[in-house]
Structure 1
Amino acid sequence: MTYKVTIESTNHTFDVKEGQTILDAALEHDIVLPYSCRTGSCTSCKGKVVSGEYEAGPGTANLISEAERAEGACLFCETKPLSDVTIQAREVRMASDIQIKKMPVRVSEMEKAADDVMIVKLQTPSSDVFRYEPGQYVEFILKDGSRRAYSLATRPVEGAPIELHIRHMPGGLFTDHVFGATTAMKVREILRLEGPLGSFFLRKESDKPMVFLASGTGFAPLKAIMEEVIALDIQRPISLYWGGRRPADLYMAQLCKEWEAKLPNFTFIPVISNAQAEDNWTGRTGFVHAAVLEDIPDLSGYQVYACGAPIVIASAREAYAKAGLPAEEFYADSFTSAADLPK
């Protein structure tokens, strides 16, 4: 049995198989709706069912207020139609030659950027060009069928390896392997991945100044976008706020300082939340999302690109809306782990 989904704003339609989510079906039909985690742990894919019957999941119950749910608000990554439905959602336009693929990749380089951050470079098959938008992510498909998602940290350059920034989560099936806590990952190892995924990428059609907000390895997709900005000589003002608990968490701060020295429209603001005496930290402190509002109390004329832990993304989304940021100008990539998944 299949059901028809109609997108109210464009009147585009697509079929959903019984038991399939609205987001998965849309992607299957090359219709991209806003999304990030695909696990019901963030609200990037939040939309509304305006007519029809549907089954929502635990993420909808946990992350969306009762009043909004009563009006049909839900997370499309977990919502399954039980009849034909009409939805309110924004469609995302991406390059027509970007296709989601499954492919083998070879580990070509590994470098520790911090005690708990590994930069891993992967060579994609030379016979199959891997195209993506800077800011998107890939998922490793592990032997047991489970998946681990990581953002691409470089803009696409044909023939060049792709780069990921992987933080060690002690006890984590995949990251213990990367960091050698169990069996050690080695150069030339073959992995399998799927991608590119996500709707996080630079909206080049806008001329608004931009705020880049990162926590931890949330810097990775913003690094890829910055490489694109530089390559295309985009002159829009950019302020990068990068937050960590300790200064060592900002593992590529020197690169950001080099950008700041070379690019007249770029400003780097590192923010540390838990500096210790031995750090000798004299810069900004506190919550990174709050530092933005200290500098820019009115965000009505900006775009924000936010990447990092779900709590950072959720806090920023709420606070920036109150500061005048239009909802459609907040682009987010929420870095979820197994601990963040809805129970």
Structure 2
Amino acid sequence: MSYQIKVAASDITFDCNDGESVLDAAERAGFALPYSCRKGVCSECQGGVVNAQGITEKALLCCVRPSANVTIAPRKIEKRERVVRKKLDASVFRIAQAAPDVTVLQLRLPTGVRAKFRAGQYLQIHLDDETVRNYSMANPPHQSDSVHLHVRHVAGGRFSDGVLKELAVGRKLRIELPYGEFFFRDESAKPVILVATGTGFAPVKSIVEDAIKRKLARPMKLYWGARREQDLYLADLARKWHDEGHVEFIPVLSDPDGDWAGRTGFVHRAVLADHPSLAAHQVYACGNPSMTSAARDAFTSAGLPEDEFFCDAFVQTGTLEPAA
């Protein structure tokens, strides 16, 4: 059995199978809706659903599974080529400790297989208990024979505090990619502001290195927020980009040690201090959900068009695992 989904104020309709989410049905029909976690936590997919009384109610479209024909009012919907995802058995190639609580995990794809993704997107790791964990690709798309993941350790995390500890070079992991609407839009000429907290640096790294490879001329600023300096686990790389003129790097610490001479406070407020008006910019924010939410509200209040704000909120699952 299937139901018809109508998009309000448009002529768009598509079918949704029984038990299928509106988000999945839209993708299957070749339409892109905003989303991030696909777990009903980040609220990036929030839109309207018209009830039987004709009243539009807010709902998370990754969780809405219709039992009748329904009309929806998403924040945005775009026609796009149908998403083609691959499930692969990738091999652990390298495990490196970037910081006491951040592991860089490099997975090598099967011989002859290339990963097709856009800079900023993420993959899913399928675990033996049939759950999944989301991690952003930190490498740029042209490095397509492997994927690099930045895994932040969380006590009790099913992957970061369990599976990861048992991994060794050569071990296979089942992955599926690509996922995510957080990817670089290169059709614009607007200056770019990148905002990251913690391992939100991973997809930002992919975006910057892709831009460098393709010699994109758009001005870029990277604001990376953390509690303390040691949490900026690849700051030397970001400073290298800065020194080479690829991106202006502004680290921001919320709880610095006494010898820190750089910017302090909340990272989104540092952006606003430098850019009281954001009307002419495009912003990519990735990391802690409280940051991405605060950034969206503050930046749109500062004139940023809502459709020029792209975010990926790294949410936690029920087992305290971050999507990072």
Verify same fold: TM over 0.5.
Answer: yes
**Inter-CA distance 177–197: structure 2 relative to 1 (3 Å threshold):** same
**Inter-CA distance 188–30: structure 2 relative to 1 (3 Å threshold):** farther
Match of 2:155 among 170, 179, 183: 170
Deviation at 1:178, TM superposition (A): 5.3
Cα RMSD of the aligned pairs, angstroms, is 2.2
Unaligned runs of 5+ in 1: 55-69
Aligned residues with identical type, % of pairs: 41
Match of 1:294 in 2: 273
Match of 1:153 in 2: 138
Deviation at 1:28, TM superposition (A): 2.8
The separation in 1 between residues aligned to 2:231 and 2:52, in whole angstroms, is: 46
User: Secondary structure at the residue paired with 1:149?
Assistant: strand
Maintained 8 Å contact 1:210/1:236: yes
Unaligned runs of 5+ in 2: none
User: Secondary structure at the residue paired with 1:111?
Assistant: strand
User: Secondary structure at the residue paired with 2:31?
Assistant: coil
Residues 126-275 of structure 1 aligned to structure 2 (within 5 Å): 126-157=111-142, 160-177=145-162, 180=165, 184-263=166-245, 266-275=247-256
**Inter-CA distance 9–254: structure 2 relative to 1 (3 Å threshold):** farther
Deviation at 1:287, TM superposition (A): 0.6
The separation in 1 between residues aligned to 2:16 and 2:281, in whole angstroms, is: 36
Deviation at 1:263, TM superposition (A): 1.9
User: Secondary structure at the residue paired with 1:80?
Assistant: coil
* Equivalent residue letter for 1:141: H
Match of 2:299 in 1: 320
Deviation at 1:5, TM superposition (A): 1.2
Match of 2:59 in 1: 74
The separation in 1 between residues aligned to 2:83 and 2:110, in whole angstroms, is: 16
The separation in 1 between residues aligned to 2:222 and 2:51, in whole angstroms, is: 42
The separation in 2 between residues aligned to 1:144 and 1:16, in whole angstroms, is: 27
Match of 1:67 in 2: none
Deviation at 1:322, TM superposition (A): 1.1
The separation in 1 between residues aligned to 2:14 and 2:43, in whole angstroms, is: 22
- Indicate whether 1:307 and 2:286 are aligned: yes
Equivalent pairs, count: 319
With normalisation by structure 2, the TM-score equals 0.92
1:216-241 deviation per Cα after TM superposition (whole angstroms, max 9, x unaligned): 00000010011111111111111100
**Inter-CA distance 247–132: structure 2 relative to 1 (3 Å threshold):** same
Maintained 8 Å contact 2:51/2:57: no
The separation in 2 between residues aligned to 1:228 and 1:10, in whole angstroms, is: 35
Match of 1:11 in 2: 11
Maintained 8 Å contact 1:98/1:132: no
